Amino acid sequence: MSDTVTILGLESSCDDTAAAIVRHRVGAAPEILSSVVAGQNELHAAFGGVVPEIAARAHTERLDICVEEALADAGLGLDALDAIAVTAGPGLIGGVLAGVMLAKGLAAATGLPLIGVNHLAGHALTPRLTDEAAFPYLMLLVSGGHCQFLVVSGPDAFTRLGGTIDDAPGEAFDKAARLLGLPQPGGPSVEAEAAKGDPARFHLPRPLLDRPGHDMSFSGLKTALLRARDRLIERDGGLHRQDRADLCASFQAAVTDVLAEKSRRALGAYLALSPERPTLAVAGGVSANRQIRAALEQVAAEAGAAFLAPPLDLCTDNAAMIAWAGIERFRAGHRDDMTLEARPRWPLDRRAPAMLGSGRKGAKA
């Protein structure tokens, strides 16, 4: 196998249509030659969440344009590639199908190998693309659709230590924003309000902290926020600006406490494996939250572990992470063929019990 591998990645499992080209030479840092992401926020805004049919149609219409743009940005033709990697799940099935069909078409037309990538593996392997993280590291995936702790021991070796049993934290931030009349996506708007508020004014629950293990729950928190809001409205006839800021600060403090304490426990379990370079890495949109990020950084420091948070555009959905996961799989000798299936569900850790339900943005695991 040649020293240098160049792979085109495609991503269409949720509401971002993306194509990217990543190159890796053995012994050198990986290079993102191009990364194109076409978001769909404006298409779904009126519906208060992602509409799967609208998402699928938009992916079908835009994916080939993104591929052309990614090739042009990198200054490469299809003949410069070694393989095509594509998200084959988990996610909204119409979108995943759009990506898999285009990848099969490209592979058939060029004769290039096809590599199916698990979207969650894309997120989980990102610290190796950005920071050349050494296996095994602990990953906390926190976004609008995902929330889980994974010990990442190889390109295809993931152990799930625990995850949310209901909502993902980003979903909880989005619902909190909706309850308080703040704009979507909820995370940034709740964070901005929280900066002006008192986190100690409302005592919101810290679900599952009283129970051992690494599972988390965020839906009760949203209900507690709703009750606190309604009590204020009943008492005062409406919400004052300071009430809203205090509610946001109290909500953010509760989410932060849960993520920090569960990360502390997950780090304990991970450190028992005696990793050579102990590392806690995060990915997903929620890791943009400054308070959460600072709390996790402190938890890692206390445990003697390095803390890695990839730049935000690589923490959220993108195709560079799919191209990179494709490179890792390609080097491990993995190839798919025309029988590659699009999968709505695809747990990374096949031994872990299945997670229940699916999120606003698709299946959680």
Residue whose CB is nearest to Zn ion in the complex, by number: 317
Is residue 173 a contact residue for ligand KG4 (CB under 6 A)? yes
Q: Report the C-alpha gap between 287 and 239 in whole angstroms.
A: 29
Q: Where are the beta strands (DSSP E) in 195-285?
A: 279-283
**Binding-site string for ligand KG4 from residue 61 to residue 90, where x marks contact by CB under 6 A and - marks none:** ------------------------------
Is residue 317 a contact residue for Zn ion (CB under 5 A)? yes
**Binding-site string for Zn ion from residue 277 to residue 316, where x marks contact by CB under 5 A and - marks none:** ----------------------------------------
DSSP assignment, residue 211? S
Q: Where are the beta strands (DSSP E) in the chain?
A: 4-11, 16-25, 31-39, 83-89, 114-118, 137-142, 147-154, 157-163, 279-283, 306-308, 358-359, 362-363
**Nearer CB in complex with Zn ion: 194/323:** 323
Is residue 174 a contact residue for ligand KG4 (CB under 6 A)? yes
- The separation between the first and the last C-alpha atoms of the chain, rounded to the nearest angstrom, is 33
The answer to whether the beta carbons of residues 137 and 125 sit under 8 Å apart is: no
Number of residues that bind ligand KG4 (CB under 6 A): 21
Q: Which of 263, 268, 229 is nearest to 148 (CA)?
A: 263
Q: Which residues contact 7 (CB under 8 A, 6 or more apart)?
A: 21, 22, 23, 81, 82, 83, 84, 85, 115, 323, 326, 327, 330
Least spacing, CB of residue 332 vs ligand KG4, in Å: 26
162 binds, among ligand KG4, Zn ion, none (CB under 5 to 8 A by kind): none
Burial category of 3 from C-beta neighbours within 10 Å (exposed 0-12, middle 13-18, buried 19 and up): exposed
**Nearer CB in complex with ligand KG4: 178/201:** 178
Angle between helices 52-74 and 93-110 in degrees, nearest 10: 40
Burial category of 180 from C-beta neighbours within 10 Å (exposed 0-12, middle 13-18, buried 19 and up): buried
Residue among 5, 10, 14, 253 that touches ligand KG4 (CB under 6 A): 14
By CB under 6 A, the residues from 278 to 297 that bind ligand KG4 are 284-286, 288-289
Is residue 144 a contact residue for ligand KG4 (CB under 6 A)? yes
Is residue 336 a contact residue for Zn ion (CB under 5 A)? no
**Nearer CB in complex with ligand KG4: 191/215:** 191
Stretch that binds ligand KG4, among 30-38, 46-54, 139-147, 215-223 (CB under 6 A): 139-147
Is residue 187 a contact residue for ligand KG4 (CB under 6 A)? yes
Stretch that binds ligand KG4, among 31-39, 52-60, 183-191, 239-247 (CB under 6 A): 183-191
Q: Which residues bind Zn ion (CB under 5 A)?
A: 317
Q: Which residues bind ligand KG4 (CB under 6 A)?
A: 14, 143-145, 170-171, 173-174, 185-188, 191, 284-286, 288-289, 316-317, 361
